[in-house]
Amino acid sequence: MATPAPPPPIATTSSSRTTYPPPPPAAERPASTKSATDRSVTDAEGAQPPPSKSRRALDKGKEKLKKWVDYEPHVTEAAPVSELLKRSLKINYPKAAGEYVARLFPFTRWILHYNVRWLIGDLIAGITVGLVLVPQAMSYARIATLPLQYGLYSSFVGVMVYALFATSKDVTIGPVAVMSLEVARVIQSVQSSPDGAQYSAPEIATALAFLCGIIVLGIGLLRIGWLIEFIPSPSIAGFMTGSALNIAVGQWPSLMGYSNKLNTRESTYKVIINSLKLLPETRLDAAFGLSALAFLYIVRWALQRVERGSRSPTIKKLAFFALTLRTAFTIIILTIASYLLLRNKDPKNYPISVLKTVPSGFEHMGKPKLPTHLLSLIAPQLPVATIILLLEHIAIAKSFGRVNNYKIDPNQELIAIGVSNLVGTLFNAYPATGSFSRSAIKAKAGVRTPLAGWFTGVCVVVALYALTGAFYWISSASLSAVIIHAVLDLIASPRQVYAFWKCSPLECLIFVLAVLVSVFSSMEIGIYASVGASVALLLFRIARPRGAFLGRVRIRPDVASPPSYASAQDGSDGEASPVRAPSPPLPAGIRDVYLPLLPDGVRNPLVQVDPPPPGIIVFRFEESFIYPNASMYADMILEYAYKHTRTGEDFEGAKAGDRPWNNPGPLRWRTKKASKRAEEAEAQELQAEKPILRAIVFDMSSCSNIDSTSVQNLVDLKRSLERYAGDQVQFHFATILSPFIKRALLAGGFGTGVGWSGAERPLEIAPVVQGGMEPVMTEHAKRVQRLHFQRRLIPTSPEPGTPAHLLPKPTGATGEIEEVREDRPSTSSSTDRDLSANDLEKALQDVEQQGVHVGGSVWGHQIPGHESPHLEQPVLSTSFPRFHLDLTSAVAAAVGKDDW
Cα 185 to Cα 204: distance, rounded to the nearest angstrom: 11
Q: Is the separation of the CB atoms in 269 and 294 below 8 Å?
A: no
Q: Taking phi first (over 0 means left), then psi (-120 to 50 degrees means alpha), and beta for anything else, what does residue 755 get? A: left
**Domain residue spans in the chain?**
107-281+328-539, 544-557+586-649+684-766, 790-796+818-879
pLDDT value of position 262: 86
pLDDT value of position 548: 92
The DSSP line for 526-569 is: HHHHHHHHHHHHHHHHHHS--EEEEEEEEE----SSPPP-SPPB
Q: Is the separation of the CB atoms in 149 and 428 below 8 Å?
A: no
pLDDT value of position 4: 44
34: exposed, middle or buried (C-beta count within 10 Å: 0-12, 13-18, 19+)?
middle
How sure is the predictor about 624, in pLDDT bands with cuts at 50, 70 and 90?
A: very high
pLDDT value of position 559: 54
pLDDT value of position 756: 54
Provide the b/e sequence for 55-79 (b: ≥16 CB within 10 Å): eeeeeeeeeeeeeeeeebebbeebb
Helices 410-424, 201-221: crossing angle, 10 deg rounding: 150
How remote is the C-alpha of 328 from its chain's centroid? 45
Average pLDDT (635-643) is: 93
pLDDT value of position 29: 42
Cα 153 to Cα 366: distance, rounded to the nearest angstrom: 12
- The residue among 662 and 841 whose pLDDT is bigger is 662
Cα 167 to Cα 413: distance, rounded to the nearest angstrom: 7
Average pLDDT (805-830) is: 38
* Phi and psi angles of residue 778, each rounded to the nearest 5 degrees, phi first: -75, 165
Query: In angstroms, what CA-CA distances link 314 with 306, 317, 323?
Result: 12, 5, 14
Q: Is the separation of the CB atoms in 440 and 252 below 8 Å?
A: no
pLDDT, tens digit, 9 for 90 and up, residues 81-106 = 888 777 777 777 788 888 888 888 99
pLDDT value of position 779: 53
pLDDT above 80 for 580: no
Lowest-pLDDT choice from 344-358, 405-419, 828-842: 828-842
Lowest-pLDDT choice from 109-113, 309-313, 674-678, 859-863: 859-863
pLDDT above 80 for 891: yes
Beta bridge partners, 879, equal none
Across the chain, how many H-helices and E-strands are there? 31, 10
- The residue among 79 and 834 whose pLDDT is bigger is 79
Give the DSSP letter of residue 862: G
- The residue among 880 and 438 whose pLDDT is bigger is 438
- The residue among 564 and 250 whose pLDDT is bigger is 250
Residues 6+ apart with CB under 8 A from 674: none
Beta bridge partners, 548, equal 620
Q: Is the separation of the CB atoms in 896 and 613 below 8 Å?
A: no
pLDDT above 60 for 583: no
Cα 638 to Cα 642: distance, rounded to the nearest angstrom: 6
Any idea what the Cα angle at residue 613 is, between residues 612 and 614, rounded to 5°?
Answer: 115
pLDDT above 80 for 48: no
Cα 859 to Cα 864: distance, rounded to the nearest angstrom: 11
Task: Count the Cβ atoms, other than its own, within 10 Å of residue 7.
Answer: 14
Cα 109 to Cα 129: distance, rounded to the nearest angstrom: 25
pLDDT above 90 for 313: no
Residue type, 375: L
How remote is the C-alpha of 877 from its chain's centroid? 37
The three-state secondary structure class of 648 is: coil
CA-nearest of 116, 201, 202, 212 to 173 is 212
Residue type, 462: V
Q: Is the separation of the CB atoms in 375 and 166 below 8 Å?
A: no
Q: Is the separation of the CB atoms in 645 and 693 below 8 Å?
A: yes
Cα atoms found within 13 Å of the Cα of residue 826, Cβ hemisphere only: 21
Residue type, 284: L
Q: Is the separation of the CB atoms in 234 and 507 below 8 Å?
A: yes
Mean of the per-residue pLDDT values of the chain? 78
pTM: 0.72
pLDDT, tens digit, 9 for 90 and up, residues 681-725 = 777 778 788 899 989 999 999 999 999 999 999 988 998 898 888
- The helix (run of H) or strand (run of E) holding residue 620 is strand 616-621
Beta bridge partners, 821, equal 824
pLDDT above 50 for 855: no
CA-nearest of 206, 168, 231 to 436 is 168
Q: Where are the alpha helices (DSSP H) in 310-363?
A: 313-324, 326-342
Average pLDDT (742-747) is: 88
pLDDT, tens digit, 9 for 90 and up, residues 278-305 = 999 899 999 999 999 999 999 999 999 9
Q: Is the separation of the CB atoms in 453 and 160 below 8 Å?
A: yes
Q: Is the separation of the CB atoms in 148 and 344 below 8 Å?
A: no
pLDDT above 70 as % of the chain: 74
Residue type, 18: T
pLDDT value of position 74: 74
Q: Is the dihedral of CA 745, 747, 750, 756 positive or negative?
A: negative
Give the DSSP letter of residue 13: E
Residues 6+ apart with CB under 8 A from 121: 446, 447, 448, 452
Q: Where are the alpha helices (DSSP H) in 748-836?
A: 779-788
Residues 6+ apart with CB under 8 A from 134: 152, 155, 328, 459, 460, 463, 467
C-alpha gyration radius of the chain: 39
How sure is the predictor about 600, in pLDDT bands with cuts at 50, 70 and 90?
A: confident
Lowest-pLDDT choice from 188-192, 618-622, 690-694, 835-839: 835-839
Lowest-pLDDT choice from 127-141, 429-443, 567-581: 567-581
Residues 6+ apart with CB under 8 A from 743: 75, 76, 78, 79
How sure is the predictor about 582, in pLDDT bands with cuts at 50, 70 and 90?
A: very low
pLDDT above 80 for 881: no
pLDDT value of position 590: 79
Per residue, the 3-state secondary structure of 682-733, as one string, reads: HHHHHHHHCCECCEEEEECCCCCCECHHHHHHHHHHHHHHHHHHCCCCEEEE
Q: Taking phi first (over 0 means left), then psi (-120 to 50 degrees means alpha), and beta for anything else, what does residue 434 get? A: beta
Q: Taking phi first (over 0 means left), then psi (-120 to 50 degrees means alpha), and beta for anything else, what does residue 3 get? A: beta
pLDDT above 70 for 619: yes
- The residue among 570 and 99 whose pLDDT is bigger is 99
* Phi and psi angles of residue 292, each rounded to the nearest 5 degrees, phi first: -65, -45
The three-state secondary structure class of 548 is: strand
In the chain, what is the straight-line distance between the N-terminal and C-terminal CA atoms, in Å? Answer: 46
Long-range contact pairs involving 468-471 (C-beta distance under 8 Å, separation at least 24): 468/149, 468/358, 468/359, 468/360, 470/335, 471/138, 471/148, 471/355, 471/358
The DSSP line for 503-534 is: H-HHHHHHHHHHHHHHHHT-HHHHHHHHHHHH
pLDDT value of position 399: 85
The DSSP line for 447-495 is: --STTHHHHHHHHHHHHHHHSHHHHTT-BHHHHHHHHHHHHGGGSPPHH
pLDDT above 80 for 824: no
Cα 549 to Cα 100: distance, rounded to the nearest angstrom: 48
Average pLDDT (531-547) is: 90
pLDDT above 90 for 5: no
The three-state secondary structure class of 361 is: coil
Cα 855 to Cα 72: distance, rounded to the nearest angstrom: 13
The three-state secondary structure class of 40 is: helix
Give the DSSP letter of residue 435: E
Q: Where are the alpha helices (DSSP H) in 222-310?
A: 233-256, 268-277, 285-309
How sure is the predictor about 461, in pLDDT bands with cuts at 50, 70 and 90?
A: very high
Average pLDDT (35-51) is: 54
CATH number corresponding to 544-557+586-649+684-766: 3.30.750.24
Cα 480 to Cα 486: distance, rounded to the nearest angstrom: 10
